[in-house]
């Protein structure tokens, strides 16, 4: 089990339908899954390792003999939450059914106890062959979900059962296997993330330690639950984000513009970004010389959250706070002052949370309830906060 609960191993067998699994990778990523592709060696004849590496941003291995010191067949199996094998050829199904472990993929299948779904694709004669039928029965009796292939055009001019199913059907079946909630379908979720930068001159800025990880976890979790997500990202790497609308901004004033534009049409605003409280009064076009760089005159930034919440209609608004002392009292007064439905207060004494995958703090609700969270992953916190947003949406 991974820290996120969303690690998927996509096993790719040596069928021509392998190229269709490239789309599957993207669709899984759109839903917030972290995908690792493990092709069989023969499947590389159809789609090469570079395609999978470029799509997933992760290295591709096919054998247990690569990077032996890492014990990949055990560590990857241990870290996987779900297995999707698509396409599964007659040979791959036979190897899995007989418990073979002659490449990395079949080793992982044996070593992992994650739920597994198999998407067969082969010629009708091979699909209908008693040997394949028996192997499929064996897999089903061991708890594998084996999809019935579609009937239609096959490789060459033949037609019949054995066709690789449409991506939508695979995704639907995968969702029902994973049991992940789809309770934000039709909702618009606006998330701010990262930390704003306030330019001093063309080189220097005032910034903060926010990494954007929590905001990204929220955006991904909302997308995975079916929401139409818009992420306003302040100074963070957004290159690996798919299926989410992203506006990249630098300063608090830039963020304010996008927020004003998007707020009216959203159902939930999650203001996770660390917005600089002040900006240099003068934005210079020339770099300040070292000798005269002795002080910076500042002016206060608008409080974006306090400002936008005055225009609230039916939106649920979630804010964040980072405190080093008097967490609860400060967060309660921020909740009032900024018109929030929920606030999460991080205890950042010692800078313990910035850039990490785990957090600890307290969720405060408008009804006066406090929920203390000890050491949870940022992904888990995202799910909990979305649960509260949904409850408030009714
Ligand atoms: O007042 P404080 O900065 O602790 O409040 C944090 C919350 O307010 C966060 O949700 C942050 O995104 C938001 N904020 C804002 N505009 C500011 C400062 C903070 O919207 N200028």
Domain map (residue ranges) of the chain? 7-178, 188-393
pLDDT of residue 157: 82
pLDDT of residue 324: 83
Say how many Å lie between the first and final Cα of the chain, rounded. Answer: 32
Tokens of 5: 């609960």
- Ligand 1 contacts (CB < 6 A) are 252, 271, 273, 275, 277, 301, 303-305, 319-321, 334
d(CA 277, CA 215): 19
d(CA 116, CA 143): 8
Domain made up of 188-393: CATH architecture: 3-Layer(aba) Sandwich (3.40)
pLDDT of residue 197: 98
Domain made up of 7-178: CATH architecture: 3-Layer(aba) Sandwich (3.40)
C-alpha distances out from residue 369 to 138, 250, 324, 328, 382, Å: 51, 35, 21, 11, 18
pLDDT of residue 6: 82
d(CA 250, CA 206): 11
CB of 89 within 8 A of CB of 105?
A: no
pLDDT of residue 357: 76
How many Å lie between the centroid of ligand 1 and the Cα of residue 196?
11
How many CA atoms does the CB half-sphere of 54 hold within 13 Å? 7
DSSP 232: E
How many Å lie between the centroid of ligand 1 and the Cα of residue 31?
28
Residues in the chain: 394
pLDDT of residue 380: 87
Q: Which helix (H) or strand (E) holds 328?
A: helix 327-337
Is there a common fold for 7-178 and 188-393?
A: yes
Counting ligand 1 atoms within 8 A of each CB, the residue from 319, 337, 341 with the most, and so the one to mutate, is 319
Residues of the chain with pLDDT under 50: none
How many Å lie between the centroid of ligand 1 and the Cα of residue 321?
7
DSSP 263: G
pLDDT of residue 352: 60
């Amino acid at each position: 089990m991974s820290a996120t609960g969303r690690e998927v191993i996509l096993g790719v067998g040596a069928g021509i339908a392998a190229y269709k699994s490239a789309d599957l990778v993207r669709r899984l990523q759109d839903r917030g899954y972290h995908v690792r592709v493990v092709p069989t060696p023969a499947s590389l004849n159809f789609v090469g390792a570079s395609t999978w590496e470029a799509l997933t941003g992760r290295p591709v291995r096919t054998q247990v003999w690569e990077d032996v010191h890492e014990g990949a067949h055990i560590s990857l199996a241990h870290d996987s939450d779900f297995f999707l094998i698509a396409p599964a050829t007659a040979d791959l199904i036979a190897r899995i059914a007989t418990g073979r472990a002659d490449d990395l993929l079949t080793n992982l299948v044996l070593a992992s106890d994650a739920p597994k779904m198999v998407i067969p694709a082969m010629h009708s004669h091979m699909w209908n062959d008693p040997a394949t039928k028996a192997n499929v029965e064996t897999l089903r009796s061991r708890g594998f979900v084996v999809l019935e292939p579609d009937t239609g055009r096959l490789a060459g001019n033949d037609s019949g059962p054995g066709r690789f199913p449409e991506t939508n059907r695979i995704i639907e079946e995968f969702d029902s296997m994973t049991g992940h909630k789809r309770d934000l379908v039709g909702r618009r979720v606006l998330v701010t993330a990262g930390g704003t930068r306030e330019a001093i001159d063309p080189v220097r800025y005032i910034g903060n330690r926010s990494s954007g990880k929590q905001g990204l976890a929220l955006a991904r979790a909302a997308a995975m639950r079916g929401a139409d997500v818009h992420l306003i990202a302040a100074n963070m790497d957004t290159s690996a984000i798919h299926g989410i609308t992203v506006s990249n901004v630098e300063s608090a004033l830039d963020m304010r513009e996008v927020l004003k534009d998007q707020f009216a049409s959203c159902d939930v605003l999650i203001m996770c970004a660390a917005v600089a409280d002040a900006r240099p009064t003068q934005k210079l076009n020339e770099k300040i010389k070292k000798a005269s760089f002795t002080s910076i005159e500042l002016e206060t930034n608008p409080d974006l959250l306090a400002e936008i919440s005055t225009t609230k209609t039916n939106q649920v608004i979630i804010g964040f706070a980072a405190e080093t002392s008097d967490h609860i009292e400060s967060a309660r007064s921020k909740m009032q002052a900024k018109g929030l439905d929920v606030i999460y207060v991080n205890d950042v004494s010692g800078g313990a949370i910035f850039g990490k995958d785990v957090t600890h703090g307290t969720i405060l609700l408008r009804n006066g309830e406090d929920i203390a969270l000890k050491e949870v992953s940022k992904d888990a916190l995202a799910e909990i906060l979305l649960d509260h947003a949904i409850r408030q949406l009714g």
